Structure 1
Amino acid sequence: MNVTLTTWLITIAVTIAFFVYEFFAHVRTPHAPSIGESARWSVFYISLALLFGVGIGFASGWRYGGEYFAGYLTEKALSIDNLFVFLIIMTGFAVPKAYQQKVLMIGIIIALILRGIFIAVGATLIENVSWIFYIFGALLLMLAWRQAFSTHESDPAHGRVVGLARKILPITDDYHRDRIMVKVNGKRFFTPMLLTILTIGVVDLVFAVDSIPAIYGLTEEAYIVFTANAFALMGLRQLYFLIGDLLERLVYLAQGLAVILAFIGVKLILHALHVNELPFVNGGEHVEWAPEIPIWFSLLFIAATVAVATIASLRKTRGLENKSV
C-alpha cells in the first residue's frame, strides 16, 4: 500500500479538524447531550468510518480494505471496553453529567496521541525487527488472559496516581464547573477534574498497550492502523452517552475481547514462525507448516465474536431483569 506524505498530512489535518470542531461545537459549552444528539452523531461517525473503509478497498484493493475493517472493528470493541472503564472513573469521581463531555474529550485526545506514538514505534520495530511478532503475540496472549478475568471493580478515586497527586498538589473537594484550576482566597487550587483526567490518561496508556499490538496483528500498514484507531475514537464521546446504561449489561464483553486478543496473538505467532529469522528456531529458517490466517477469516471471526458476546450479554441481563421484577 503506497501512502504518500501528502496523504498522511491531509489525514492528520482532517483528524485534528474533526476534534477541534467537536470541542467548539459540543464540548465548549457544558451540557449533557440528549439521546437524539448522541444517536445522530454516532451514526454519522460510524457511517464515515465505513465509507472510508470502502474507499480504501476501491483505491488500494480489498485486501487492505479487509484489513481496515478488521482493525476498525477490533479497535471499536476495545474502545467500548474503554468506555466501561471511563464510566467507572466518572462514577468514582462523581463527575457531574454536564461536565463529563470535557473529560471524555480530553481523554480521547490523550488516547489518540498515545496511540499515534505507539503506532510510529510499532511500525519502526516491524520494519527492522522481524522477531517482534513473537513479542507482540506473547503480549496479546497475556493480555487476553488478564482481560478474560478482569472485573473492572477497582476504585479509581483511590488509585496510586490519584494518591500521589493529592499529596503533591493542592486540590479542592468540590467541582467548580468544568474548570481544572481555580483561585480560592487568593490561592490557586486544582479541582477533582484534574484527578479525573490524570486517571483517564493512565487508563489510555494501558489501553494503547492492548490495542496497538492487536491491530498490528491484522495489518502491517501504519496508515491503516492510524485511521482505524482514529475512526474508532471519533464519536466515542457520543457513544458514551448513547449506550451509557447499556454498558453495564455487556457482561461478556471482556470475555469476548479476550477471545479476540488470543486469536490475534496466535495469528501473530504463526506469522512470526512463517517469517522466522531467529537462529534457535528451526535453524533460522522459515517454518513452512505455519499457516497464514487470511484477513477474511480474521474479519469474520472478530465480527462473530463481538456479536456472540453482545447477544449473550443482553440475553443474560434481560433474564436477570425479569427475575428481579
Structure 2
Amino acid sequence: MTFTEIETLLGQQHATLLQHTCTTIPKEKLHLPAPNFLDSVFGISSRNIPTLKSLASIYNSGRLAGTGYVSILPVDQGIEHSAGASFAPNPMYFDPENIVKLAIEGGCNAVATTFGTLAFVSRKYAHKIPLIVKLNHNELLTYPNKYDQIMFGSVKDAWNLGATAVGATIYFGSPEADRQIIEVARAFEEAHSLGLGTILWCYLRNNAFKKEGIDYHVSADLTGQANHLGVTIQADIIKQKLPENNGGFKALNMGASSYGKLDERMYTQLASDNPIDLCRYQVANCYMGRAGLINSGGASAGASDLKEAVLTAVINKRAGGTGLISGRKAFQRPFAEGIQLLQAIQDVYLEKQVTIA
C-alpha cells in the first residue's frame, strides 16, 4: 500500500491525521521505535541476555524486521468470545494450525495464542515464527457471565512449548484487579528469569466507567494510567485499545464521589482532542515509549475493516507507538484477505512518508 493509497483510504480524515504536529508532548522526548531500539532501551535494562534474545527474535521477524515496529496476530478469542462466535465467519480457524499459518503468510513478527493451540503445533512452528503464549483468559461460560482473568497454565509450560514471550491481561479498575496484578507480576518475573519477553493486555473493566452514554474504558487518561501500572510490573510491550475520548477521571469524580487523582494539565497541556495526541498520552505513560505501545485492532465490522485498521496504524505510528496487534479483522475473513489486511497495516509502518507527529 503506497502513501497515496493510504491518503485515499483515510478520505476526509487524511489531513487531520497525516499533517498533524503534536504540540503536547514533543516527539523529541520519546524513545521512538528504530533499528537500534533494543540496544538503546533494553540493552541498559535489568533484562537478562536470554530475554534480550527473545525480544530481538520478535523485533527481527516478519515484514517489519529491523524497523523497531511489530505486527502481531492475536487469536485467543475462542476462549474470550467463544469459539463458535469467533470462528463461524471462517471455520478453518477451528484448526489452530491455520492461525499460525496466517501469521506467517501475513508477515507478522509473532503470533499470540493459547496453550492449547501451541501444544498441538509448537514443534512444527516454534523455530519459524516467535510464539507468544497467553497465560490467562476470561472463560465466558459461567452463568451469568462474569469477567475475570484466570490463569490457564504456567510460565514453565509456556517455556517448554518454545514460547518467545508470554502475554497476560489485567482488568484494571475491576474488583479482581489487585489479585490479577499480583498474579501477573509474579508470572512476568518468572518469565524474565527464563528468558521470555512479556506483553500485557492493559484493559479496563468496570460498569461505572460507562457514564451518561460515554464509554470511558477507552479514555486517554484512564487507559494511560493502566499503561503506567503495566510498565511498573515490567511488561516489555503494552497492548491497549486506541483512545476515543478523554476525561474519565473528571467524569467519575462528578457528584460526591472521590476517584483517583488528576491534574488539569493532563487535559490542557499533555493532550488535545486530536486522536494522535490522545494516543501519545498513552505512549508517554509507557515510560515515554521505553515499553512499546501496541494498539488493538478491535472487532471486525466487515467492509470498513481495512480503513479502520490503516487508520489505527497511522494514529499509533504518528503518536510514537510500536505497532498493531490485530486479530478478528484478519481471521474473520477469507485467508487471502486476512493476509492483505495484515500487510496493509505493516505498509503503514514501512511507509517513510507516514512520520512521527
Q: Per residue, is there more strand in 1 or in 2?
A: 2
TM class by shorter-chain length?
Answer: under 0.3
Q: TM-score, normalised by structure 1?
A: 0.22
Higher relative contact order (CA 8 A, sep 6+): 1
Which structure: larger Rg?
1
